[in-house]
Amino acid sequence: MAATLTAGAPARPRKRLASRRTRVGILYALPVVVYLLVLFVYPIFSTLLLSLKDADGSFTLHWYADALTGVNLSVLLTTLRISAETAVLSLVFGFVLAQAITRLKPILAGLAMLVVVVPHFVSALVRTYGWIIMLGDKGLVNETLTSMSVPGAPFQLLYNELGVVIGTTSMMLPYTVLLLYGVMRGVDRRLLAAASSMGAGKVTIFRRIYLPLVAPGLASAGLLSFILSLGYYITPALMGGPDQTMIATLINQQVTKENQWNGAAAQGVILLVLTLAGLLLVKVVTSLGASRKKRSAT
């Protein structure tokens, strides 16, 4: 957050600070800063403290050792793996969908958006029931495949990693589609026309003009779905098996079943650190890309 406040400050901060406008600006920002300090920074630090406290109040790292060994570690790795798979798949499908929607008439585009977003408002149990009707052994997909005598059918599409990724991807699609749709609408079509007038083929236009223009959107959409998936809980529990247990499930169990806040806090902090690491990674990649662009321009 400190980054937000200072990110806009250019090379000569002192002169800036002195100006009247800046001082008024700081005054305006104060309520928000206080709000975030009290309701955001303070809780996070108390969580951090909680994760370092033993039952008797003394300092300890054993909650972290516990969270990073044995079954807890494998759950953490599962969480990362499923989140990555979800991010990639929702990017691919989101890209195709958003691309299709930008070509539709506004009314149809709105309708298509609605179809993408509506599943979000369906209760988890109803949605699960729906998925079982679709993907179960006696579900729509498998019945169709069996009647077409596809070899190997019926396939196990639920209660394994495939089921979870199908579920989480469908939950992430609204985010990626909405984000990418906005970015794609912002692309200046004349650039594509100009490229084609200079003899660029379709693939070249896509690769060298279109993709770089929507790349920032791709990065934020991928990161967003990765981060959101990290904390996912209901869908993996409903559509997966024990092998797809996510870390949020463990946190929930520790708090609600065992009243064990310290261990839960440690896992929460680990999740937070992973999220920050993801953000940092994207930041590094984008700034590397930007500096390379600058170098090639000069």
Partner 1 sequence: MKDARIDRRLFLRGIGGVTAGVAAATALSACGTGTSRVASGGGKGGGKTVVVRDSGGSYGAALQKAIYTPFTQETGIQVKVLNLDDAPLLAQIKQGRPQCDLINNSMMSHTKYVAQDALERLDLDRIKSVKSAKIPENQITDHAVGSSFYGACMAYRTDAFGGKKPESWADFWDTKAFQGGRSMCNPDGDLPELEFALLADGVPMDKLYPLDVDRAFKVLTRLRGDIKKFWDSGPLPGVLLSRQEVTMSTVWDGRIADLQKQGVPVTRQLNGMRRQFQGYAIAKGAANADNAYQLMDFSLRAESQAALAKAFPSNPSSPLAYAKLTEDERNALAGAPKYYDKGFDTDIDWWLKNESAVTKRWLEWARG
Distance CA 172, CA 195 (A): 33
Q: Whose Cβ is closer to partner 1: residue 98's or residue 158's?
A: 158
User: Running DSSP on this structure, what letter comes out for residue 242?
Assistant: G
* Distance of closest approach, residue 62 Cβ to partner 1, in angstroms: 15
Residue 169's CB is within 10 A of a number of other CB atoms, namely: 23
Residues 258-277 that bind partner 1 (CB under 8 A): 258-260, 268, 271-272, 275-276
- Spatial distance between the Cα atoms of 1 and 4, rounded to a whole number of angstroms: 5
Among the residue ranges 18-26, 52-60, 184-192, 246-254, the one whose residues contact partner 1 (CB under 8 A): 246-254
Decide whether 139 or 174 has the Cβ nearer to partner 1. 139
Q: Which of 248, 262, 265, 266 binds partner 1 (CB under 8 A)?
A: 248
User: Could you identify the residue written with the tokens 């996070």?
Assistant: 44
Does 227 interact with partner 1 (rule: CB under 8 A)? Answer: yes
Residues 22, 5: Cα–Cα separation, whole Å: 12
Closest Cα to residue 173, out of 99, 234, 116, 127?
116
Segment 4-43, which members bind partner 1 (CB under 8 A)? 4, 7-8, 40
Query: Residue 53 in 3-state DSSP?
Result: strand
Residues 99-158 that bind partner 1 (CB under 8 A): 125, 128-129, 132-133, 136-139, 158
Closest separation in Å from C-beta 200 to partner 1: 29
Residue 139 is encoded by which pair of tokens?
């579900």
Cα dist from 67 to 193, 235, 244, 267, whole Å:
54, 22, 17, 6
DSSP annotation of 136: S
For the chain, give the longest Cα–Cα distance. 77
Closer residue to partner 1 (CB): 112 or 272: 272
CA separation for the pair 122, 136 (Å, rounded): 19
Nearer CB in complex with partner 1: 95/235: 235
Task: Give min distance, CB of 112 to partner 1, in A.
Answer: 24
User: Pattern of binders to partner 1 over 174-213, x per CB under 8 A?
Assistant: ----------------------------------------
Find the binder of partner 1 among 249, 262, 265, 266 (CB under 8 A): 249
Identity of the residue, 158 or 165, whose beta carbon is nearer to partner 1 in the bound complex: 158
- Distance in angstroms (rounded) separating the CA atoms of residues 270 and 263: 11
For the CA atoms of 227, 228, 230, 236, the dihedral, rounded to the nearest 10 degrees, stands at -150
Q: Please count the helices (runs of H) and the strands (runs of E) in the chain.
A: 16, 0
Rounded to the nearest whole angstrom, what is the least distance from the CB of residue 263 to partner 1 in the complex? 10
Shortest separation between residue 228's beta carbon and partner 1, angstroms:
5
- On whether the CB atoms of residues 94 and 173 are closer than 8 A, the answer is yes
Contact set with partner 1 (CB under 8 A) = 1, 3-4, 7-8, 40, 44, 70-71, 74-75, 125, 128-129, 132-133, 136-139, 158-159, 220, 223-224, 227-234, 237-238, 241-243, 245, 248-249, 251-253, 255-260, 268, 271-272, 275-276, 279, 283, 286
